[in-house]
Amino acid sequence: MNAEAPQNPTHTEFRRQDYRPPDWLVPAIALDFDLGIETTRVKATLTVERNGGHDRPLRLDGDEIQPLAVRVDGQDADWSMDGDTLVVAVAGDRARVETEVAIYPASNSKLMGLYASNGMLCTQCEAEGFRRITFFPDRPDVLSRYAVRMTGDKAAFPILLTNGNPLRTGEDGARHWAEWEDPFPKPSYLFALVAGDLKPNHDSFTTRSGRKVDLNIWVREADLPRTGHAMAALKQSMAWDEETYGREYDLDLFNIVAVSDFNMGAMENKGLNVFNTAYVLADPDTATDTDFDNIARVVAHEYFHNWSGNRVTCRDWFQLSLKEGFTVFRDQGFSADTGSPAVKRIDDVRTLRAIQFPEDSGPLAHSVRPDSYVEISNFYTATVYNKGAELIRMMRTILGPDKFRAGTDLYFDRHDGEAATCDDFVKALEDASGVDLTHLKLWYSQAGTPKVTASLDQDGGTAVLKLAQTVPPTPGHPVKQPMPIPLKVALIGERSGAEIAPERLVILDAADDTVEFDGLDEPALLSINRGFSAPVDLQVDRRAGELEKLAASDSDPFARYEAIQELMMRWLIAAAQGEVADIEPVIRAVGDTLRSNQLDAALKAEAILPPSEAVIGDRMDRVDPDAIHGARERLRAAIGARLSDELSSAQREGGAPGSDLSSRAKGTRRLRSIALDFLAAADAQAGARLAKVQFDAADNMTDRSGALRVLASLDMPERVAALEAFYRRHADDPLVIDKWFGVQAMAQRPDALDQVRELIRHERFTFANPNRLRSVAGVFGMNQWALHHASGEGYRFLTDLILEADKVNPQVAARMVPPLGRWKRFDDQRQALMREQLERIVATPGLSKDVHEQASKSLG
C-alpha cells in the first residue's frame, strides 16, 4: 500500500451491553411538512419528559440536517451541535421543544429519510432514517403519538398519506393540506409519509370482531391492473393472522404504496406499508410464479409486523430478530398453509444454506442477537432474519403448537405497546408453557452453524444412534458451548420401505449422545433432521445404497428431497476432486423421482435440481470454482442424456394457461424449465431449439424467462434472438428489464465477465436504482464461476462497482461486499487477489461507514 494512503476512519462501535434507557421520553410529536421535491421544510413540536432523576440535556439525533430554529416552550432555546446531534438545555422535567429544518428529497440518493422517486415523495426510516427528516431521539424505545400536517402542490401531490387516520383536509389555491393522527404510540422508525400522483386499488376487510378496514394499494395509474395479487394476499394474511395467532388489525385503514426506488423489499410502517414495486406488481405476462409467491410472502410479512414489530416493538436494534426472526417464521407459516408445506420448507432451507450458512462460517458471522455493530443497516442479515426464524421454529417444535400459541398470546398481551427484548419473548413462552428454555437461548448468543455427525449401529432388533456436535469458532468467539439441537428422527425399513420406528424428537444437548431403538425386525435406514428440525450442518455415516433407498421411500418429503440432494452432492464433490464415482445411483434416483406417481411436479422439480455451485463449494475444504463448475456441468449433461425421455415429456407437459396460479400449474412450469436445462446441458443445439420454442410459445413469464435463462448460457444464435426479443417486448417495464439484466449476469459462460461489463455500459443501467444495481452487481456476486475467474478480473470488477455504488447509496453498496469476504475458502492465489480488492476498498478516501465496516471485517 502506498505511504500516503489515508488512515482508516474510526467509526463508533455500539455494544448491546451498553444499553441505557433514554434520558428523555417524547410522548407526543406534531410534524408540519411543507412538501417539495427539491426542498421540504419540516417543523417539529416535541413534548418531552425527563426520564428519571438526572440533569442531562436533551439530545436529539440528526443526520445531514441543520437546525433553522430551536425553541423551548416558545422561547429561543440554548442549544448547540455535538457532531450531528442537537443538544438542547431544558430546565424543567417537561417541555415543548420546537425545531425547524429544510431537507432536500431530490438529492437524497441514499433513499433513507424523505426522498424522491419517480416524481413522488416517500420515506424510509428504519433503522435510522427519521433523523434525516427531523431532530429526534431516533431509537426504538422512544414511543410517541404522532400528529402530522402535510401541505403541498395539488397537481404534483394529489395524494397525501401518513400513518394512522386522516382527520381534516383543505385547499389553499394551487396547494392543499391534510392532517392525520396515529392513535398508536410508535417508535420513529415506523413513521412514514407519501405524497404523489397515485391511484388506489381499493378493497375492504372485515375483522372477526366486525371492524371494517379500508384497504388501498397505491400505485401509478398504469400499474393498477397488476395489483390484484397483492390485494388478495393482503386479505388472506389478515384472515390467517386472526386464525393462527389470534391477531386482529387495529385501525380502520391500511395502505400499501409501491415505490420503484427502494433499498429493501418493503417496510411495515404503521398503517402505511411502503413496498418495492417488485413486491407488489404482478401479472402472468411480466411476473414469474416465484415473483407471485414472493409478493404474497412479503405482503404477509409486512402485515404480520403490525403485531410482531409495531404493537410490540424492539427495545434496541440488537433485538432486531425479536421482530424479524419471528415475523419471518410467521410468514413461512402463512406460505406453507396457503401453498405446499413441503415445497415451502425446501425453499426456506435452500435460502438458509445458500445465504445464511456461508455468512455464519465467514468473517461477517454474528449471532442472531448481535453483540455489537458499527452500522445497523449491515445487520439486516440472513442470520437475524432466517436463522432467527429457525430459532423460533425450534421453540415451537419443543413446546408443541398449543403451548407455543399460549406463549405468543402471553407475549403480545404482556408487552402490547412496549419495546421488548428477545429475553422477554422467551420468558413469555416459558411462563405460558411451564417449559424451561434457558439452554435454547444459546442460539441467540452463539454464532456459527453447529456441525453434527450421526451414525446408526444395528445389532439385530436394536440400533444405537450416535450423535456428536461441535460449534465452530466465529470472529471474537473462539470457544463454544454445545447447543440444544432438536432432531426429528425416524427409522425406515430397508426391505419394506416403511417407518419401523415412528418419528420422535431427539434433543442433542451435549457434545455427544446416544439414542436406542428396539424391536426392529429388519435393517434400518436413518431418517434424521426431518423437516430440517434444526439449522445444522449434518453429516451422516451412510452405507452404500442407503441414500438411494431413502430417496425412494422416506416418508418425510423433506428428508426424501435431502436424500436425493445428498446423493448428487456426494457425486459432485467426488467429481470435483477428480475422483471416479459411480453416477448410476444418481441417475436411478433422479429417474425414479421423475417417473414417480406419488410426487407432484413441484416436489420433483425441487428434488432433482442439483445443488448450486456455491453450495457445493461450501461442502469442500478448498473451493475450486472451475472443478465444481465442470463437475456440475457433467452431472447435468449425464442426467439430460440418460433421462431424455422423462425430461422431454416433463418439458412438454401442457395443460394450464399462464394465468393458472394453482400449485399444480406452478409445479408443472417449474419442472418444465428445470427439465429444459438438463436437456440443453446434454445437447446444446437441440436444447437451444427447444428453449426457443418454449420461449416463443410462452404465455407467461415463468416459461419465458425459464427458457431465456437456459439460452443465456448457451453459445447459440437463439440466445441473441431471444435476448433481443425479450428486451423489445418488455422495454417499458423496469421490473422485467431487471430480469433481462439479471439473466445475463447469472449466465454460465466463459465470457461472462465481458458480458457483464457490457451490461454496465448499457443505457438502461444505473447505480441510482437499487433493483437495477442488484440485478447486475448483486447477481454477479453470486455467480461463483464467473466471479472467481482465476485472473482476479471478477474481483476487480465487483470492487469497481462497490466503490461506484458507495458514492450513491452506501447501504446497497455494503450488501455487495460479502462475496469478497469468502477468501479464506479459496486457493492462495485467489485469496491474495480477493484481499487485494478488499484492501483497495478499505483504503478508499471518503468511504461510507457501511462499506468500511463490511470490508474491514471481511479482511478478518
Annotated catalytic sites, by residue? 302
User: Least distance in Å: CB of 192 to ligand ARG?
Assistant: 12
Angle CA(799)–CA(804)–CA(805) in degrees, nearest 5? 95
Size of the site for Zn ion (CB under 5 A): 2
By CB under 6 A, tell whether 141 contacts ligand ARG.
no
By CB under 6 A, tell whether 278 contacts ligand ARG.
no
477: left (phi over 0), alpha (psi -120 to 50) or beta: beta
198 binds, among Zn ion, ligand ARG, none (CB under 5 to 8 A by kind): none
User: Least distance in Å: CB of 102 to Zn ion?
Assistant: 32
Judged by beta carbon, residue 319 or residue 713, the one nearer ligand ARG is 319
In 3-state terms the chain splits into helix, strand, coil percentages (rounded to 5) of 45, 20, 30
User: Least distance in Å: CB of 299 to ligand ARG?
Assistant: 11
Q: DSSP letter string over 741-808?
A: HHHHHT---TTHHHHHHHHHHSTT--SS-HHHHIIIIIHHHT-HHHHT-TTSHHHHHHHHHHHHHHHH
What distance lies between CA 334 and its chain's CA centroid? 16
What is the distance between the alpha carbons of residues 770 and 805, in angstroms, rounded to a whole number? 9
Size of the site for ligand ARG (CB under 6 A): 15
Question: Which of 70, 103, 215, 264 touches ligand ARG (CB under 6 A)?
Answer: 264
By CB under 6 A, tell whether 261 contacts ligand ARG.
no
User: Least distance in Å: CB of 406 to Zn ion?
Assistant: 24
The site string for ligand ARG over 311-330 (x = CB under 6 A, - otherwise) reads -------------x------
By CB under 6 A, tell whether 126 contacts ligand ARG.
yes
138 binds, among ligand ARG, Zn ion, none (CB under 5 to 8 A by kind): none
Nearest by Cα to 696 from 707, 686, 687: 707
User: Least distance in Å: CB of 301 to Zn ion?
Assistant: 6
Judged by beta carbon, residue 205 or residue 317, the one nearer ligand ARG is 317
Question: Which of 35, 97, 120, 267 touches ligand ARG (CB under 6 A)?
Answer: 267
127 binds, among Zn ion, ligand ARG, none (CB under 5 to 8 A by kind): ligand ARG
Residue list 310-369, contact with Zn ion (CB under 5 A): 324, 327
98 binds, among ligand ARG, Zn ion, none (CB under 5 to 8 A by kind): none
By CB under 6 A, tell whether 114 contacts ligand ARG.
no
Judged by beta carbon, residue 140 or residue 821, the one nearer ligand ARG is 140
Contact 44, 133 (CB under 8 A): no
Residue list 363-402, contact with ligand ARG (CB under 6 A): 377, 380
User: Least distance in Å: CB of 256 to Zn ion?
Assistant: 14
> Residue 698 corresponds to which cell in the numbers above?
410462452
3-class DSSP assignment, residue 471: coil
By CB under 6 A, tell whether 554 contacts ligand ARG.
no
User: Least distance in Å: CB of 381 to Zn ion?
Assistant: 12
By CB under 6 A, tell whether 548 contacts ligand ARG.
no
Q: DSSP letter string over 786-805?
A: HHT-TTSHHHHHHHHHHHHH
CA distances from 696 to 283, 659, 747, 771, 858 (A): 18, 17, 20, 27, 45
Pairing of strands 24-34, 144-153: parallel
223 binds, among Zn ion, ligand ARG, none (CB under 5 to 8 A by kind): none
CA distances from 823 to 144, 795, 858 (A): 46, 11, 9
Contact 102, 48 (CB under 8 A): no
Residue span binding ligand ARG (CB under 6 A) among the ranges 94-102, 121-129, 176-184, 685-693:
121-129
Write the CB contacts of 783 (distance below 8 Å, at least 6 apart in sequence).
745, 746, 747, 748, 752
Nearest by Cα to 668 from 289, 229, 282: 289
> Residue 775 corresponds to which cell in the numbers above?
440485478
Judged by beta carbon, residue 134 or residue 811, the one nearer Zn ion is 811
CA distances from 719 to 685, 695, 713, 746, 798 (A): 11, 11, 8, 14, 25
Question: Where on the chain is the footprint of Zn ion (CB under 5 A)?
Answer: 324, 327
Question: Where on the chain is the footprint of ligand ARG (CB under 6 A)?
Answer: 124, 126-127, 263-264, 266-268, 301-302, 305, 324, 377, 380, 811
